[in-house]
Amino acid sequence: MATSFKIGYAFEPNKKTFITDAIVDESKQRGIDLIKIDTDKPLAEQGPFDCILQRLSNEIRIKQLEEYSSLNPDVLIIDPPSKIEVLHDRYSMLHCVEDMMKTNRPENEIGMPTFGIPKQVLVTDVDSLMNVNAEGGLKLRFPLISKPEMVDGSIQSHELSLVYNLNALKKVHTPVVLQEFVNHGGVMFKVYVVGEYVKCGKRNSLPDISEEQLDFEKNPVPFSQVSNKPSQEHSDHMSNEEMRIEDAVMPPDSLVTCIAKGLREATGLHLMNFDLIRNSRISNHYLVLDINYAPGMRKCLLMNLF
């Protein structure tokens, strides 16, 4: 009988695992043993493992994992906590895109797609907040997307808002990352990356915003409250959101693969996804908005990534 490949998986006890009994059985038929790691016991007493798949956030458990890795350098950790750390800061995470753009941009020929990141700024205090659009400053254009700087798993870290004007900007809590909102046809492309395998899907996003709307809202508007009004093309059989997704053209595979490859090299991560939009005002230009570590793994499984 062929020797099996042993993968230990470690998740925080309060987090749901995407590894079901069916997945364990299917993996075993392919020569892979999926072994649940007991996070209440020393990692050194468990195993042996060829690979460890981890989603830990507890500092003590992370330290144990790092110590285990140093004593067992041949065991692949997917992914090391030190590499995931860069994705906890919404501002610095996009620096990865800027770095990889220098060496992984597709040939910039006429008609070929290009990519980049939204214009953004990190604001750490109220005084700096009021200087965002000051003379000589970054000069961001409204509307803006307001994002808490740190991604720490809390509800607050995922409370994103739209800021339509200066009055609303005054009410934003710092520290915050402000990004220019870019009209993108109400469709976002979600790109899942598992090692060298890349899968792109499309989903509903925020609707486009007109200049006339910028004076209406005097407070930051949470994403969940942004209006999705039906368009003139509304069908009795299909919602406005479904129509937008149905009509959206997928980005070229070459572009998606290029960005995924560059992000893998820049971050050193095996599991991630990133949000991509097409700029409605600039033909064939795409923007990377966010990079997330191993989110929606159940969706990945359904999309046959494993």
- Integer-rounded Cα radius of gyration of the chain: 22
Quick check: 35 and 49 in contact, CB under 8 A?
A: yes
Any long-range contacts for 276-279 (C-beta under 8 Å, 24+ apart)? 276/115, 276/188, 276/189, 276/190, 276/191, 276/200, 276/251, 277/182, 277/184, 277/187, 277/188, 277/189, 277/205, 278/184, 278/185, 278/187, 278/189, 278/251, 279/182, 279/183, 279/184
Annotated binding-site residue numbers: 15, 90, 147, 158, 179-190, 205, 275, 290, 292, 296
Annotated binding-site residue numbers for Mg(2+): 275, 290, 292
Annotated binding-site residue numbers for 1D-myo-inositol 1,3,4-trisphosphate: 15, 147, 158, 190, 292, 296
Annotated binding-site residue numbers for ATP: 90, 179-190, 205
